[in-house]
Amino acid sequence: MTVRPLILALALLLPAAAPQASAPVPAPAPPPVEKPVVVRAYPHDSTAFTEGLLIADGALYESTGREGQSVIRQVDLASGKTLRQATVPSGLFGEGIVAWGPELRSVTWHGGRGFRWSRPALKKLGEWKYAGEGWAMTDDGRQIILSDGTPRLRFLNPATMAVARTLDVTVNGRPLKYLNELEYIDGQIWANVWMTPYIVRIDPAGGVVKGVVDLSELVARAGVTDRDSVANGIAYDRAKHRIFVTGKNWPELYEIRLGGGAKG
Ligand SMILES: [Ca+2]
């Protein structure tokens, strides 16, 4: 672990600062931290700079980043092989994806250009626009949720992709930035925190982090050494209640479960 992720990790896990005398608000309880149990490991394309991961209608989809390497693909879970693939327009750095109806929608890092793709054929259907950066997306069944590296998540009207509301995410009473790849799981928003091995589980009503999933043992197992090869990929199989995680350039993708309860 390099210095920067360590600092971020400590900031995430340390209890909140003592309240000021003028504002005697009790510090919120720190969220429980859990290490997941690995149910099964699957192969993962170690050249994939994972930015988005999801399961829709039983099919696994992944998006990847970096200019010139940004694709959206359907992946065979068992073998890790790419079944079909579309290329994000040249000059763009691909980021996350979300499934909505018969489409996938994708964002790019800079420039505010989002795309619509057919599913499962992955034919480009059109574009949409948003302000600022695009990091990742998921959905809660009613709205599409967009992260951009700040503590603020945007909830988008799927019909127009306009911002319907925003949610400011806090942990230990402080804003939590670097929210990256997202997945909506059983009423909570799970988010990888960029440059850390942590997933935070966010209450979508108030934005408070209710729990932390510590993937540091999976980071070690993946054996990655590049500082950019962070945990970044969460997919939930809503039909079979299976959770999958991976990371940028990881050689494996893991089905995990939370063992010890502590579901905040
Ligand atoms: Ca996801």
More confident residue, 93 or 28: 93
Q: How confident is the model at residue 3 (pLDDT cuts 50, 70, 90)?
A: very low
* pLDDT at residue 10, rounded to an integer: 52
How many whole angstroms from 138 Cα to the centroid of ligand 1?
6
Nearest CA to 112 out of 96, 126, 133, 88 is that of: 133
* pLDDT at residue 1, rounded to an integer: 39
How many whole angstroms from 189 Cα to the centroid of ligand 1?
10
How many whole angstroms from 181 Cα to the centroid of ligand 1?
6
Do you find a cis peptide bond into 151, omega within 30 degrees of 0? no
For residues 180 and 191, is the Cβ–Cβ distance under 8 A?
yes
Q: How confident is the model at residue 264 (pLDDT cuts 50, 70, 90)?
A: very low
How many whole angstroms from 69 Cα to the centroid of ligand 1?
19
Q: What number is the average pLDDT over the span 85-104?
A: 97
User: Would you mind telling me the total number of residues written for the chain in this entry?
Assistant: 264
* pLDDT at residue 6, rounded to an integer: 47
How many whole angstroms from 244 Cα to the centroid of ligand 1?
9
* pLDDT at residue 88, rounded to an integer: 97
How many whole angstroms from 26 Cα to the centroid of ligand 1?
34
Q: Is 119 exposed, middle or buried (0-12, 13-18, 19+ CB in 10 A)?
A: buried
Residue 216 phi, psi dihedral angles, 5° rounding? -60, -30
How many whole angstroms from 53 Cα to the centroid of ligand 1?
4
How many whole angstroms from 182 Cα to the centroid of ligand 1?
5
Amino acid at 6: L
Other C-beta atoms closer than 10 Å to the C-beta of 165 total 10
Instruction: Quick: pLDDT tens for 192-209.
Output: 999 999 999 999 999 999
Residue 218 phi, psi dihedral angles, 5° rounding? -75, -35
Q: How confident is the model at residue 262 (pLDDT cuts 50, 70, 90)?
A: very low
d(CA 33, CA 135): 24
Pairing of strands 231-237, 252-258: unpaired
How many whole angstroms from 140 Cα to the centroid of ligand 1?
12
d(CA 252, CA 40): 10
How many whole angstroms from 183 Cα to the centroid of ligand 1?
4
How many whole angstroms from 18 Cα to the centroid of ligand 1?
35
Among 4-8, 121-125, 157-161, 218-222, name the one with the lowest average pLDDT.
4-8
Residue 19 has pLDDT above 80, yes or no: no
Instruction: Quick: pLDDT tens for 136-192.
Output: 999 999 999 999 999 999 999 999 999 999 999 999 999 999 999 999 999 999 999
Q: How many CA atoms lie within 13 A of 139 on its CB side?
A: 22
**In the chain, what percentage of residues exceed pLDDT 90?**
86
Q: What number is the average pLDDT over the span 235-240?
A: 97
Pairing of strands 50-56, 103-108: unpaired
d(CA 37, CA 34): 9
* pLDDT at residue 2, rounded to an integer: 43
More confident residue, 49 or 260: 49
Q: What number is the average pLDDT over the span 49-58?
A: 98
How many whole angstroms from 23 Cα to the centroid of ligand 1?
38
At residue 245's C-alpha, the angle toward residues 42 and 113, to 5°, is 115
How many whole angstroms from 24 Cα to the centroid of ligand 1?
38
Q: Is the pTM of this model over 0.85?
A: yes
Instruction: Quick: pLDDT tens for 128-139.
Output: 999 999 999 999
Q: Is 58 left (phi over 0), alpha (psi -120 to 50) or beta?
A: left
* pLDDT at residue 11, rounded to an integer: 59
Instruction: Catalogue all structural domains in the chain, each as residue range(s) with its CATH number.
Output: 46-257 (2.130.10.10)
Q: What number is the average pLDDT over the span 54-63?
A: 98
How many whole angstroms from 135 Cα to the centroid of ligand 1?
11
* pLDDT at residue 28, rounded to an integer: 77
How many whole angstroms from 136 Cα to the centroid of ligand 1?
8
For residues 13 and 29, is the Cβ–Cβ distance under 8 A?
no
